[in-house]
Amino acid sequence: MGKLRVAVIFGGRSGEHEVSLVSAQSVMAALSPDKYEVTPVGITRDGAWIVGSDLMLSLEQEDFSDTRSAAMFADPSKRGLWASVEETGLAAASRQGAPSLAERRMGKLAVLSQVDVVFPVLHGTFGEDGTVQGLLELAGVPYVGAGVLCSALAMDKIAFKDVVQSHGLPIPDYVWTTRRQWLADPDAWLDRIEEKLGYPVFTKPSNLGSSVGICKCDDRDELRAGMNEAARYDRRILAECAVAHAREIEVSVLGNEDPVASVPGEVVPSREFYDYMAKYVDTGEDASELLIPAPLDAETTKRVQALAVQTYRAIDGAGMARADFLLNGETGELYLNEVNTIPGFTPISMYPKLWRASGVPYSRLLDSLVDLALDRFQENQRSERIYRPGEP
């Protein structure tokens, strides 16, 4: 067999755009050129799909003069994403006369055709939430990571909590509302949150990652400000009870039907909690500390690994995910915080570091994820899509 053709999609219309670029750089650098033929595909902050010679630099500098916009559409009969690429500048001038729209589309129709697998390295909304996964399902192409349902569930904190709670998994108490309901009567919602949760609480947008829009609130004024901050980013918002003496424990999960958990790690944040600044901005002596493996006793280690796998199965995980827990450092109580279906993927990110500590190096981890994507696609292909009444 020849090389596998892998399309890596990165950037995106999300507050985690920059994080996606860093993760994608690492993934593309580590995909072995002996095994893979890599096609980079960029998405700008406003959602435009682009192709070109140096997409990473174009996205970092937000200079798209050397790129071409690509209108993506799915054609499962040809198994792949297809692109109608707008030819501009030198590409168009090199033709005899101005190319017609039909010529442009036919001439560059196969930019992303016949890829063997897509690796979406898209964090946050419009990438990790099932939207791109739905496009790839329509295209009939294998892709790395969770499917539409799992991606959407894990991204939406409220829906995620409802599902995992129904499976008996431990989560902190919470109150949720919509932005419109909150703005219509904020004092009533403040009263309700105080009565049910007390202080301190965390306020969060339901659909976002990397701790964007999350605030820790110790009194009513801070709670009001925190709910307003969360409402900037989503139409559904929540307040969640803070876990006392919290230690943040994270576990990487890998697999499809038979997922396995890595050794746990612990995050010691550089700030009061593990917010965006603590994750991505603080460096050097001010950086957050990652303890791998986490300093846990054997019983707690097994418990957190089992809960990670149980959670993964509950939301129909596939490929990869990182499960994050909050451990009460005094009582030993363990609470599920969230699951990230496309976690940070730089070599120093927690997900690959935990697997490295478990004996799986970065390049082999990527190989496994590609294999899992192909395996999941083949399993899904076993399902019949056509039904005609009366036929045997």
Q: Do residues 134 and 19 both lie within one domain? A: yes
Same domain, 276 and 370: yes
Contact 178, 235 (CB under 8 A): yes
Residues 200, 284, single domain; the answer is no
Q: Are residues 226 and 300 in the same domain?
A: no
Residue 15 lies in a domain: yes
Question: Which of 194, 210, 241 is at the close of a domain?
Answer: 241
318 shares a domain with 197: no
Does residue 24 fall inside a structural domain?
A: yes
Strand-pair partners of 249: 266, 325
Identify the CA nearest to 249 among candidates 206, 292, 217.
Answer: 292
Output the domain CATH number for residue 181.
Answer: 3.30.1490.20
Question: Is residue 302 one of the residues assigned to a domain?
Answer: yes
- Cis peptide leading into 293, omega within 30 of 0? yes
Q: Are residues 265 and 219 in the same domain?
A: no
Please determine, for residue 322, whether its predicted confidence score (pLDDT) is greater than 60: yes
Is residue 327 domain-shared with residue 206, that is, in the same domain?
A: no
The reply to whether 163 falls in a domain is no
Answer with the one of 181, 213, 241 that is the final residue of a domain: 241
CATH number of the domain encompassing residue 311 = 3.30.470.20
DSSP 8-state assignment for residue 128:
S
Of 187, 220, 241, the position where a domain reaches its end is: 241
Mean per-residue pLDDT over the chain, rounded: 86
Are the beta carbons of 50 and 86 closer than 8 angstroms? no
* Of residues 161, 154, 160, 162, the one with CA closest to residue 123: 154
Res. 177: pLDDT tops 60:
yes
Read off the pTM.
0.86
Residues 130 and 194 in one domain: no
Per-residue confidence (pLDDT) for residue 86, from 0 to 100: 58
Q: Is the pLDDT of residue 293 over 50?
A: yes
Q: Are residues 95 and 189 in the same domain?
A: no
At 229-245, the pLDDT tens digits run 999 999 999 999 999 99
Q: Pick the most confident of 89-98, 133-142, 169-178, 277-286.
A: 169-178
Residues 300, 348 within the same domain:
yes
Q: Which of helix, strand or coil describes residue 183?
A: helix
Our count of domains for the chain comes to 3
Band (72; pLDDT cuts 50, 70, 90):
low
Domain presence at residue 390: no
CATH no. for residue 60? 3.40.50.20
Mark whether 30 and 57 lie in a shared domain.
Answer: yes
| CA angle centred on 294, ends 288 and 295, rounded to 5° | 110
Task: Give me the domain span that covers residue 50.
Answer: 4-143
End-to-end CA, the chain: 37
